[in-house]
Structure 1
């Protein structure tokens, strides 16, 4: 241990106190030993340090900070150097705001397009997500503070996220859902990891010895700090045994006492606590040194970096008749509420208070585009308005080109909620159809943080996907429309034609006890390619104002080399992608997988020789029989493509294997071997995971407990609990009815799906576990007994607090 001498000076109570927060965002301090509090702040794409009342839902404004494009956007840049630059600037601002730990990046897989937090995640592919995540971490930590990669692991839905049990086979867990984290730990060298809320195969993630110790610590060599997601601790002692140092936010000492009693009773050895304290002290002291080097921030310079990030991440999806870039002198009509009030970030804990916010309508003068007027065209939150539609059509008739700003609103994509569908709101499509009748020269500018259905795509000649482009996104989009910037972004996720085409369609979200990942390794393009399923836009797809030619592929045991030529008339950047597919059929696999990529700038007519090197992840698979990574001896197809569906060059390479036994019985897993794994039966899935599926439905005959959700009050024995549930549902319905969707969402995010233990874990000690026992007694039908316990425990808590207050104690004694 690094700090053995210091730890020996601590009392057991002091050591335990360091294991949970002091308040909502800071850790505990021990002044007599020179141990200060650390500040942890949300910040996947900008610092969210709240100066006033703290919350986890983004309700209260934070100190102004640069709002960079979120991860879902920057992933489309496929530019690791850009990711590191963004991390660098995030780190500078974190130091300036005296933030020790920046809670990001988020690198969970986009298993399903409806996950409400997809805007905060990079990709459906673990290699791309891992490389981009590691780049952010390196940039942030170059300033001496800590990044905190999250949410570890397999957190792919928001509904019931604090208690859902994720059922996934070990191979899929390793290959898809942990690989990005492995890269973040080994290549990014993150100092902090945030555990996720959910259970994994029956255990809460921060209590899982397999996940936290065997994989994270022993296999990957992680020696940093694990922090819970806010309110994400279930059993504090079990979490400590698994190596989870820090529980956030504060529980007012309640769980510290649990640790103390566990040590005194011999459940935990004090040496286990000492090791956790040692790692936490190392984080504390190393970040403290960094914060002493605070510097002034040039926010205008940071704004320019945010603009560059947006420009490289914008994806041109359609350009019929080369309608883009807009020709000089062409007039445009700007239609759409998102033009005036841009969607530039997601909603929830990642909301950033921007230092500057570019407005599209103010930027036309510098773009060279002639704007003849603006009309909103539609109501932002879905209400139909014929008057606005008609005014938009009148304006559109007068322009050469219509710029139609469309997308998803803030209440649709939000932390704590999953989307209901993949559709753009009907009122926006009504406007698009009406515009098409009066002026078919339409360029749609799409603003949303995840994949949407596009049955309307024939109504537009141009489609520019800005995703959520950050505070400088408006100017960045205009730079692409005008041709000042040649678009170079490519999709980091597949766009299915309809939601029903997605591999997890039949198993998302988990509504009650568990969610089954029956599709196994077949998510995203892995499924669409293997099942020969047509998509709207494939993974890795994006257009440019120039063209590129690939040629002269050469493969050896270490790398693949080829030539790339810009065959168009303007300079541009191309993202070349390396895919590898095993030609053996002994083990079921995706048809091909991304194993490398690079972004190359080429002037018009320029040719460059490009080499992509193989690494330890190029040919490996996880063998469930040997319980380790193996290489299958076989011929492998090495492909270089402009997207997963646009392969330009191929060659083969024979690779020697590790001689591991075949892990599967092909006859028992025929659906997986076919690649069409969107409707796998329960028996076949049980054969894959190796045990009988747990019951996925609530047992409504049992009394409600700590890990049951408040939503389950609808089945409670206590009439007052059922009445409270009815009031909550009515309030949610009524708020939506009157157009207060964001407020209605708060009910679902902060109440409906919260397990009862969250009432104690998220209230900072206002409600403790004995009081919660009383609440559950009320819920389970014993009103007066439960109320008496709540009041008794509240009085006891108040009395103890007064006894600990020196002023109150002095008054009493006098």
Structure 2
């Protein structure tokens, strides 16, 4: 019921039970051949680095994503990997979440459909996909202990709905629980989530695995539905299971059922993955380029792109042009088989590039010399291709971003370049939205997100017009961070993260509140234009025609939204309920049909504890984005007419005024009093407290707390941003995880001794640690 080591399950030769390997994804294979870790610190074998989920989502292309999943699965199968840990499909509640680059969207429908496609592609190869992190993993800050407080309706409509599509359409064989608590109960031992919802409602019958080190109470997790704990705890938690059965705290029948579920995955995936397949690195790389080409988003274009005049003198400025930012950091960190440098790729084109300048220090700090060289080059050119973005230290697993801005030195460089050359084409890199106060100073903006190892080639193809950009945003871009509905309460206090905005996140908030934004959900430009016409809705499908009215061949992402016109309960103005990506040659016209599924006109009724289709009038909207609606049709539905919240004052939610929700208003919606969010500084620390709380302990604890930020700052000074961020992960780790992630080098008794040292009983705790270390060396429990 737990790992044999960091990545493998236990083999039992006498029963012919093999070991299987679980290893990281989700946008490529991260298989470590040497020292193992969960944060991307130690090297892994080279593998194809595809665009991250945040990038792929901008393609809105289920067939493409299914194909990417298959390519990743083939590499995993070839390396005898049985379970690939991905895709990640948590909802992008807030732009500052440090792991947003690994997730698809702010919208659960788009998230679910894209993740289901990737799951299907991966599992076509015999490898099991493992969607994660179930559920409500909305922040990285204190993610191993934070309690995500979310009302029942938002829980089902936003944070579970994407997983429902992934499970019901993708049919994954494995799913990973999240570290955090959900409404007071750790996700891995949350019976409501794992049994009532995942198993009983959605029919999931596969393997439930913890996130690495994500076990709190092993027996309670087992009862709730978890089968496998990872990584190895060297028998510590296995013994807890044995003792629980002996003491009648755990029914042996439950244990038998969990073992049987685990064995099904072991045997099923083992028979498929121990066969060598021919993998062509070049073929894989071409797929990575194709995926990037279809995912780039053109955000602005004042006639600058594509670059047609081969005689124009072009300056390339920005460190990201030479050293591309193509993926995130943490457990998804891939060692690519190759990387397409934009500078190398652009030399292969017919563009007249007159020079390159770095322009700024990648990791911050002003350099007048770099800035002056860049401005001098810009003066000599007709067009400046400026490459800016978020650096490696800005977004990563285990941390959340502090703000939505580009670094000051990049912003200053852009201002100075604009003074000497007004023809700036900005190419952005990064896995999350940024504020763009400079938008009027540039003539075009192409967002590459994190495009994987083929990003350099893809960018050049789009800039030159070899490829018509077809990506559209899978998330909204607010003008400033203060516009985000959760901006005042994110990432939550010490112990809780309160989702006071309820269902109003992303475009559900901006469009309902009529908030001015920078770029809407579903937005993206093209080198051609499209005409929509003749919408017919028959109650189950929407049919219409679309024609390419421009000169370039292209692909248009058509979006279907449902708008309730007279619902008696608060709701978003409209919600995405269908989409399709349509390839069209110049002047070509196609008839399109989009089917609507069972939840198209439904919402979660908190009194009835189920989804209901509400009576009333609706509008079917067909558009190029959430704010660019081209066609519409009205209909009336006969369904449930009961009104939830009848005895609750939810007027503030009716008005969508969610920026300043008071505690008492949210408690009415949530149905309970809010738990305490603050730490008790006088509390004696125990196994479930986190290392950061050492600052409230004795001298040793205070020194331990001070040492970790010191090491982080030292690593930052040494220009090691990824390692620096990972050091801070230690601060937010529960003490219990120190033992469980040690691979047996520290047992729970030694851990108790260590905690006593932190609490101010240094010598007593040290003696206990030495005593039980002696026991371990002699093989005693």
TM bracket (short chain): over 0.9
Query: What whole-Å deviation, never above 9, does each CA across 1:231-287 have from its counterpart, x for those lacking one?
Result: 000000000001100000000000000000100111111111111111111101111
Q: Distance in 1 between matches of 2:619 and 2:266?
A: 48
Query: What whole-Å deviation, never above 9, does each CA across 1:157-192 have from its counterpart, x for those lacking one?
Result: 011000000000111000000011111110000000
Conservation of the 8 A alpha-carbon contact between 2:648 and 2:669: no
Query: What whole-Å deviation, never above 9, does each CA across 1:337-358 have from its counterpart, x for those lacking one?
Result: 0000000000111011111111
Q: Distance in 1 between matches of 2:242 and 2:309?
A: 72
What corresponds to 1:721 in structure 2?
701
Q: Which residues in structure 2 correspond to 1:326-475 (within 5 Å)?
A: 326-475=308-457
Question: In the alignment, which of 667, 674, 699 is matched to residue 680 of structure 2?
Answer: 699
Q: Which residues in structure 2 correspond to 1:4-83 (within 5 Å)?
A: 19-83=1-65
What corresponds to 1:790 in structure 2?
769
What corresponds to 2:754 in structure 1?
775
User: Any idea what SS the aligned residue of 1:581 has?
Assistant: strand
| Alpha-carbon offset, residue 738 of structure 1 | 5.0
What corresponds to 2:114 in structure 1?
132
Task: Report the CA distance shift for 1:238/1:473 in structure 2 as closer, same or farther (over 3 A).
Answer: same
Q: Distance in 2 between matches of 1:225 and 1:567?
A: 50
Conservation of the 8 A alpha-carbon contact between 1:666 and 1:673: no
| Alpha-carbon offset, residue 783 of structure 1 | 1.8
| Alpha-carbon offset, residue 789 of structure 1 | 1.2
Q: Distance in 2 between matches of 1:398 and 1:556?
A: 60
Question: In the alignment, which of 644, 663, 672 is matched to residue 682 of structure 1?
Answer: 663
User: Any idea what SS the aligned residue of 2:778 has?
Assistant: helix
| Alpha-carbon offset, residue 143 of structure 1 | 1.1
Question: In the alignment, which of 593, 610, 625 is matched to residue 628 of structure 1?
Answer: 610
Q: Which residues in structure 2 correspond to 1:295-314 (within 5 Å)?
A: 295-314=277-296
Paired residues, number: 781
User: Any idea what SS the aligned residue of 1:392 has?
Assistant: helix
1:244 and 2:226 are equivalent in the alignment = yes
Which stretch of the first structure deviates more once superposed, 777-786 or 600-609? 777-786
What corresponds to 1:571 in structure 2?
553
What corresponds to 1:736 in structure 2?
716
Conservation of the 8 A alpha-carbon contact between 2:23 and 2:81: yes
Q: Distance in 2 between matches of 1:219 and 1:720?
A: 49
| Alpha-carbon offset, residue 667 of structure 1 | 6.4
1:761 and 2:761 are equivalent in the alignment = no
Q: Distance in 1 between matches of 2:36 and 2:551?
A: 53
What corresponds to 1:532 in structure 2?
514
Q: Distance in 1 between matches of 2:70 and 2:599?
A: 27
Q: Distance in 2 between matches of 1:528 and 1:457?
A: 20
Q: Distance in 2 between matches of 1:178 and 1:406?
A: 35
1:277 and 2:259 are equivalent in the alignment = yes
What corresponds to 1:191 in structure 2?
173
1:507 and 2:486 are equivalent in the alignment = no
Which stretch of the first structure deviates more once superposed, 679-688 or 778-787? 778-787
1:97 and 2:87 are equivalent in the alignment = no
Q: TM-score, normalised by structure 2?
A: 0.99
1:745 and 2:715 are equivalent in the alignment = no
Conservation of the 8 A alpha-carbon contact between 1:530 and 1:676: no
User: Any idea what SS the aligned residue of 1:496 has?
Assistant: coil
1:483 and 2:462 are equivalent in the alignment = no
Structure 1: runs of 5 or more not aligned? 1-18, 804-814
What corresponds to 1:15 in structure 2?
none
Conservation of the 8 A alpha-carbon contact between 2:528 and 2:552: yes
| Alpha-carbon offset, residue 554 of structure 1 | 1.0
Conservation of the 8 A alpha-carbon contact between 2:329 and 2:722: no
User: Any idea what SS the aligned residue of 1:255 has?
Assistant: helix
Q: Distance in 1 between matches of 2:718 and 2:233?
A: 37
Q: Distance in 1 between matches of 2:99 and 2:168?
A: 25
| Alpha-carbon offset, residue 678 of structure 1 | 2.1
Q: Distance in 1 between matches of 2:711 and 2:324?
A: 29
Q: Distance in 1 between matches of 2:717 and 2:483?
A: 31
User: Any idea what SS the aligned residue of 1:564 has?
Assistant: strand
Query: What whole-Å deviation, never above 9, does each CA across 1:464-486 have from its counterpart, x for those lacking one?
Result: 00000100000000000000000
Conservation of the 8 A alpha-carbon contact between 1:323 and 1:461: no
User: Any idea what SS the aligned residue of 2:101 has?
Assistant: helix
Q: Distance in 2 between matches of 1:304 and 1:591?
A: 41
Q: Distance in 2 between matches of 1:681 and 1:413?
A: 30
What corresponds to 2:588 in structure 1?
606
Conservation of the 8 A alpha-carbon contact between 2:317 and 2:385: yes
User: Any idea what SS the aligned residue of 2:95 has?
Assistant: coil
Query: What whole-Å deviation, never above 9, does each CA across 1:653-693 have from its counterpart, x for those lacking one?
Result: 1111134x311138611111012212211111000011111
Conservation of the 8 A alpha-carbon contact between 2:143 and 2:180: yes
Q: Which residues in structure 2 correspond to 1:541-560 (within 5 Å)?
A: 541-560=523-542
Question: In the alignment, which of 75, 90, 102 is matched to residue 108 of structure 1?
Answer: 90
Query: What whole-Å deviation, never above 9, does each CA across 1:35-81 have from its counterpart, x for those lacking one?
Result: 11111110100000001111111111111111000000000000000
Q: Which residues in structure 2 correspond to 1:619-658 (within 5 Å)?
A: 619-658=601-640
Query: What whole-Å deviation, never above 9, does each CA across 1:494-549 have from its counterpart, x for those lacking one?
Result: 00000000011111112301000000000000000111111100000000000011
| Alpha-carbon offset, residue 727 of structure 1 | 2.3
Conservation of the 8 A alpha-carbon contact between 2:340 and 2:454: yes
Question: In the alignment, which of 84, 87, 101 is matched to residue 119 of structure 1?
Answer: 101
| Alpha-carbon offset, residue 737 of structure 1 | 4.3
Query: What whole-Å deviation, never above 9, does each CA across 1:585-623 have from its counterpart, x for those lacking one?
Result: 411000000000000011111111111111112011111
Q: Which residues in structure 2 correspond to 1:138-149 (within 5 Å)?
A: 138-149=120-131
What corresponds to 1:662 in structure 2?
643
Task: Report the CA distance shift for 1:666/1:442 in structure 2 as closer, same or farther (over 3 A).
Answer: farther
Q: Distance in 2 between matches of 1:96 and 1:742?
A: 29
Task: Report the CA distance shift for 1:531/1:431 in structure 2 as closer, same or farther (over 3 A).
Answer: same
Structure 2: runs of 5 or more not aligned? none
Q: Which residues in structure 2 correspond to 1:148-297 (within 5 Å)?
A: 148-297=130-279
User: Any idea what SS the aligned residue of 2:294 has?
Assistant: helix
Q: Distance in 1 between matches of 2:543 and 2:53?
A: 30
User: Any idea what SS the aligned residue of 1:178 has?
Assistant: helix
Q: Distance in 2 between matches of 1:668 and 1:625?
A: 15
Q: Distance in 1 between matches of 2:526 and 2:156?
A: 35
Conservation of the 8 A alpha-carbon contact between 2:599 and 2:613: no
Q: Distance in 2 between matches of 1:743 and 1:295?
A: 35
Which stretch of the first structure deviates more once superposed, 113-122 or 772-781? 772-781
Q: Distance in 2 between matches of 1:269 and 1:746?
A: 40
User: Any idea what SS the aligned residue of 1:249 has?
Assistant: coil
User: Any idea what SS the aligned residue of 1:229 has?
Assistant: coil
User: Any idea what SS the aligned residue of 1:123 has?
Assistant: coil
Q: Distance in 1 between matches of 2:21 and 2:416?
A: 52
User: Any idea what SS the aligned residue of 2:314 has?
Assistant: strand
User: Any idea what SS the aligned residue of 2:544 has?
Assistant: strand
Query: What whole-Å deviation, never above 9, does each CA across 1:261-317 have from its counterpart, x for those lacking one?
Result: 100111111111111111111101111111133212011011111101000000000
Which stretch of the first structure deviates more once superposed, 253-262 or 392-401? 392-401
Q: Distance in 1 between matches of 2:723 and 2:76?
A: 30
